[in-house]
Structure formats: structure tokens, C-alpha cells
Amino acid sequence: MKINKPKHDVNPDLAKERLKCNFNIEEVTNIIDGGKDKTVQRKKIEDIALNNGASLDEVPEECLSIKERYENAVRKSCVYGNLVRNEMLEITGIENFESPVLRRTADAFFKDISPFMLHLGMFVPTLIGQCTPEQTAEWLPKALDMQIIGAYAQTELGHGTFIRGLETTATYNPEKEEFVLHSPTITSYKWWAGGLGKTANHCVVMAQLYTQGKCHGTHLFIVKIRDLDTHMPLPGITVGEIGPRMGFSSADNGFLRFDHFRIPRENMLMKHAKVEKDGVYVKSAKHGKLTYGTMVFIRVTLVSEMSFNISKAATIAIRYSAVRRQTELRPNEPEPQILDYPTQQHKLFICIATAHAFQLTSCWLWNTFQAVLADMKKGNVDTLPELHALSSCLKAVSTSDALSHIEQCRFACGGHGYMLSSNLPFIYSFVAATRTYEGDYTVLLLQTARFLVKASEQAEAGKKLTQTVSYLNRTANADRLNWDNTHEGIIKSFQVIAAGKIGQCVKSIRDRTASGMDYEDAWLMTTVQLVGAAEAHCRAVLLNTYWSEMRKITEASSADVKKVMHQLAVLYLMYWALEKTGDLLKYSSVSKKDLDELQRRYEELLAELRPNAVGLVDAFDLRDEILHSSLGSYDGRVYERLIEEAHKSPLNDEPVNQSFHKYTKPLMLGKL
């Protein structure tokens, strides 16, 4: 594999690490990309970005003012958008406009985020999923060609989670064949939509549909909010940016208020329901929640997005840990590389394993999603509830795990990890938002719990369950599992934990209703346990999927690659078994001796993986221009880069800052 040659000598410690690596790095890269041809395609697309000015910021993004950051991000988005439409989509195929490769390449342009991300990320998928064929023909080519730029305006100031509580109204007027969009209250302001504040000229709006005097619940509408020539907001539209946030600093999350704003009837997205010219409401969907389709789609894609973000953080922290030396172990001996500390390995190797676990699970989830779409095309919506339950818990757990692993990577880099130039704070604050957006962590786990409680009751009644919950059929009446210290045994024990927790929830709800509580209150009182049960189910799914997909995907691999991929998966199983010892003690016959043995094996495994650590992150094949990190670049010039970045601080533009003469000196002289 052609590695982009570093311009400088590689740090000697890092160079030695690469010599220690005992597997074929390119083979692992191909596995991660999904095949050799995919690696070639990815590199081709990355080359297009890198040869066209990506990563060329004279002043680092973080040193710009809010306005400058936004304007710079728009400039780069236009260069990038143009490359996407003219060159990259030709390679991926237009149907793969959401390809992870495009997403990954975008990072070569944006350290933080593109104000156009939601255009491709949510606006376009909504058009694809919610339009009739006529509407698709009208809007989609314009959106893909970026003749119109869109946002997804669902959340309001008063409601994000509870979609049924949204207050924006779309009232149909049959005389004019128009909908009137209105924001009746302060809490009905649309709030948060990415790109809505300053960038978008269109948006998809979720609003309560009224026709013939009746409310039919939330539906989607496409709305032009700005003049395409002047970009001025149209009369009846108040639109702006919501203000600085923890991350997303180069984008324009927006607010939007409608004052009796009129749109043509055809602007209701009518794939699943429509309003006839005379105002008659017709529902064609066989499932009530198909208008939520974009959210399901994004939840599915976020699992792969989390893999990518963990792989960036792990690459930075592991390369840095190979370069960094700290603390004498024995007098007069060189200080060890911090990567030699088992505590450091404990923080970091799980990140490599998790990146693989999420990548393989995301491919499996994507295939499940495609199968459900195919079913729905044939009019069968029976598989949707399982997909919703699965995508909800995997979105919740993958974003939450990614966040804590990335924070560990930052801890692993000590003080330098706190520098924006390390890129870890950017990655962290980007991922922090994913735990909330597209469905809050707790809320989504409670969605999965609804499905699990029903499934458990069906298992109790002797019904055969679908694949991801079929373990409930086997474990419904199991009390404590006999501990079996094999890999399959660990996976089974997680299924028994999940089944036990779900069973306990069902019992709590029944006990509470039996003592006179109504079902809603009994459910509410049990929600802490229900979240735990859904998380346990998700862990069982993740462990099982990672293990079985890893074995499948490495069937034809070389022995060394097989070995290291196997070691990572075993590490993942052991890590989670040790994290959940309380649950294992409760639901299996595991003994203190078994757990001590597991701990010993885990520590040995860290040592076995140690020589391959740098090779494993090199296999993620993240070019420096995508990584943007003073600590994580391929050549390991950590200290030189930290100094170079420090010199870029605008505060170093002059030797004395004017504030000295204005304020400090008068203070020193007692003249203030």
C-alpha cells in the first residue's frame, strides 16, 4: 500500500514501533474499508480533495472570530460541494451520496463542521424518503446539484424529543390550494436546525397538519425561506442563528419563525399521506411513523460515524503515546514510552477494538436497514419495529461509548490533549452532540425497552421471536447461567443478563400495576431499570455481532491478520465482561476465581497487543490532512508541531499586546 511519504524524518520511537508490527497493515485497511477495491476508491476520492486545496487554512479555524469561521467554512463547503457534485459522486455513484468516504473526506476541509452538512446529511435523505415520484423529480436533482441548499427543521424551542408536541401549524386552504405555516407561540420557534441560520434557502419543516378543521398530526413540508438571488428571508419568515455552542462552531444552527407563511399544496411531502385539492386527507402508509424515516436512517449511519471518530482519537492518542516518554521506572534507565504502561493500554486498546466493533456492526445494521426498506417497498412493515428498536439502542450506546472512549484518549494525552491543535477537543465536542441529537440517549433506550418488554411477554407466551431478540426464547425461564469461560460463553452471559433485566422490568411493572398503579405510572417508575435493560440488550447485540462478523470477514485473511483481529474482538468481550462484573455475579454462576482469571487474561492480552498498537492505528489509514492533529501525525513530530501551532496564535502577532498600555500599565502605576 502506498503510504503518503512524510515530509520529515519519522520520530525514531514511532519508526521502531512500525518495525515491530507483525501483520499486514494493508490487509486490515482493506477489511475496514470493506474490500481492496473500496480502499482504492477511497484513496482516489481523498486525493481529489487533497489536490484541491483541502486543509489549506492560513490561520487555524479556532483562531478566527465567529463570523470569520463561518465565512471560511462556507468558502470551503463551496469548494468541497463542487468537488462532490462534479468529481466524487461520479466515483461513488450518485446513489451513494451519503457514502462514509465522502463524510471522511469532508474532514480534510473542516476541523469542526461544514454549514452544508445537513444539506447532504438530512435534507437530501428526507427528499429521497418522503417525496412522491413527481416531487422527487422536482426537488432531488436541484438539491443534489446544489441549486438549492436545505436544512431539516423539526425541533422547536419547546420540544425536541416529543415530536407529537410540536406546535408549528400547517393549515390547508382549499380555495387557494395552499398551506399556511404559522408559529403560534414562542416555544414553537424552530430551533437548532444545522445550516438553517444563514446558509439554507430551503428547509424541510415538521408541522401539525390541519385540514377541514381537523388536526392529523405531524407531517413534513418543503419550504423556500430565502430569495434565491438576494438570499434575503422571504416576507413572513424570521430566520437567524441560535448563538455559540459547545462545538459546531463553524456551522449556523438556526431558528425560524413563520408568520402565516403560504406554500403551495404540492410542498407537502406526500409519499406516506396527502391532502387532496379539496382538503380531504388521505393516508397511504401502513405504519404510523414512516414520516420519522429520516431519523431512523441517520441513527443507522451514526454507528459508522462513531467508528470513524473513535479511530481518529485512537490514532492520535496511540501515536502520541509511542512518542511521549514519562517517569523513570528504575533509576538511571530511560523513561519508558507511555504506551508501555498497562494503564495507558487499558485506556487505548479498547478504542481500537471498539472502532472495529462499531464498523462491523454498522455494516450489519446497514444491511438490516436495506432489508427492511425492501420489505416496505413490498408493503410489508412488520420488520420496522425491530429496526427502530435496534437503531435506537445502537445509536444511543455507540454515541455514548464513543464519547467516553474519546475522552479517555484525551486523558491519555495529558495536558497536550487539551490543546485544540491536538484535535481531540474538536472530536469530543462533535461526538458529545451525537449523544443528544437525532434522539437523546435515554429517550432512545426507552424506545428499545418498549420493544423488549413486548418481546419478553411474547416469549413468555411461547411465541417465536425475531432474530435480535431470539435469545429471549432460549433464556426466558433461565435463572442463573452456568458460567462458561469461553468467548461464546461471555456472549451468552450478556444475553442472559439482558433477559434477566428485561424480565425484572416486566415483573416490576406487573407488581406495580397489581398494587393499584396505572400502567403509565408503573412504566414511569420502572424507567431507570428499563434503560439498564435496553443497554444490556444492546451490549449483547454488539458483542454477538462483532464476534460473528469478525469471524466471517477474516475467514480468508492471512494467519497474522486473523490473529490480531481475533485478539481485538476477545479484548472487547473481556473488557465488557470486566466492566459488568456486578451483572455477571447477579445473573451467572461466575466466581471470584473466574473473574480473577478473566482479569489476568485481559492484562496478558494488552501485553500481546502492545507491539501491534501503532500498526493497528496505521491501518485506519487516516491521512494527516484528515486527522488535523499536532499529536497524531504519521511522522510523530509532536513537539515541533506544538511549537509551530503555538506560533500561529494571533496573540503572538506582536511582542506587546496593546492591552498592556491600556490597562495593565495603568494598574501597575496606580493610575487606573
Ligand X SMILES: CCCCCCCCCC/C=C\CCCCCCCCCC(=O)SCCNC(=O)CCNC(=O)[C@H](O)C(C)(C)COP(=O)(O)OP(=O)(O)OC[C@H]1O[C@@H](n2cnc3c(N)ncnc32)[C@H](O)[C@@H]1OP(=O)(O)O
For the bound state, the minimum distance from the C-beta of residue 156 to ligand FAD, rounded and expressed in Å, comes to: 8
Using the rule CB under 6 A, give the single segment among 134-142, 338-346, 383-391, 607-615 that binds ligand X.
383-391
Binding flag, residue 192, ligand FAD (CB under 6 A): yes
Q: Is residue 589 a contact partner of residue 478, using CB atoms and an 8 Å limit?
A: no
User: Which of ligand FAD, ligand X, none is residue 248 near (CB under 5 to 8 Å by kind)?
Assistant: ligand FAD
Counted residue by residue, the chain has a size of: 672
Angle of CA points 99, 66, 122, to nearest 5°: 25
Binding flag, residue 603, ligand FAD (CB under 6 A): no
Q: Is residue 166 a contact partner of residue 156, using CB atoms and an 8 Å limit?
A: yes
237-241: strand order across its sheet = 190-193, 254-258, 237-241
- Pick the closer one to ligand FAD by CB: 397 or 472: 397
Binding flag, residue 194, ligand FAD (CB under 6 A): yes
Binding flag, residue 193, ligand FAD (CB under 6 A): yes
Binding flag, residue 439, ligand X (CB under 6 A): yes
- Which residue type occupies 429? S
Binding flag, residue 436, ligand FAD (CB under 6 A): yes
Using the rule CB under 6 A, give the single segment among 39-47, 210-218, 431-439, 464-472 that binds ligand FAD.
431-439
- Pick the closer one to ligand FAD by CB: 344 or 400: 400
User: Which of ligand FAD, ligand X, none is residue 135 near (CB under 5 to 8 Å by kind)?
Assistant: none
Partners of 150 in beta bridges: 202
For helices 559-579 and 342-377, angle between their N-to-C axes, nearest 10 degrees: 100
- Main-chain dihedrals φ then ψ at residue 489, nearest 5 degrees: -65, -40
Note the helical H segments in 461-558: 471-475, 487-514, 519-525, 527-553
Range 286-315, binding ligand X (CB under 6 A): 289, 292, 295-296, 298, 301
- Pick the closer one to ligand FAD by CB: 192 or 364: 192
Q: Residues 121-150 vs ligand X: string with x where CB under 6 A?
A: xx----------------------------
Q: Report the DSSP pairing between strands 178-182 and 169-173.
A: antiparallel
Range 130-169, binding ligand FAD (CB under 6 A): 152-155, 159-161
Using the rule CB under 6 A, give the single segment among 41-49, 78-86, 557-565, 616-624 that binds ligand X.
78-86
Binding flag, residue 39, ligand FAD (CB under 6 A): no
- Pick the closer one to ligand X by CB: 372 or 497: 372
Q: What is the DSSP annotation of 295-354?
A: HHHHHHHHHHHHHHHHHHHHHHHHHHHHH-B---SSTTSPPPBGGGSHHHHHHHHHHHHH
274, three cell numbers: 396527502
Range 152-181, binding ligand X (CB under 6 A): 152, 154-155, 160-164
For the bound state, the minimum distance from the C-beta of residue 99 to ligand X, rounded and expressed in Å, comes to: 8
Range 508-527, binding ligand X (CB under 6 A): none
Count CB atoms within 10 A of the CB of residue 578: 15
303, three cell numbers: 454507528
Q: Is 194 marked as a binding-site residue?
A: yes
Using the rule CB under 6 A, give the single segment among 99-107, 542-550, 563-571, 645-653 that binds ligand X.
99-107
Angle of CA points 78, 44, 423, to nearest 5°: 60
660, three cell numbers: 498592556
Q: Which residue has the cell 403560534?
A: 184
Range 294-323, binding ligand FAD (CB under 6 A): none
Q: What is the largest CA-CA distance in the chain?
A: 90
- Which residue type occupies 635? D
Q: What is the DSSP annotation of 10-55?
A: PPHHHHHHHHH--S-HHHHHHHHHTSHHHHHHHHHHHHHHHTTTTT
Q: What is the DSSP annotation of 55-77?
A: T--SS-GGGS-HHHHHHHHHHHH
Please state the residue numbers annotated as binding site. Answer: 155, 194
Q: List residues binding ligand FAD (CB under 6 A).
A: 118, 152-155, 159-161, 192-194, 248, 253, 433, 436-440, 442-443, 446
Q: List residues binding ligand X (CB under 6 A).
A: 77, 80-81, 84, 98, 102-103, 106, 114, 116-122, 152, 154-155, 160-164, 194, 289, 292, 295-296, 298, 301, 384-385, 388, 437-439, 443, 447, 450
Please state the residue numbers annotated as binding site for FAD. Answer: 155, 194
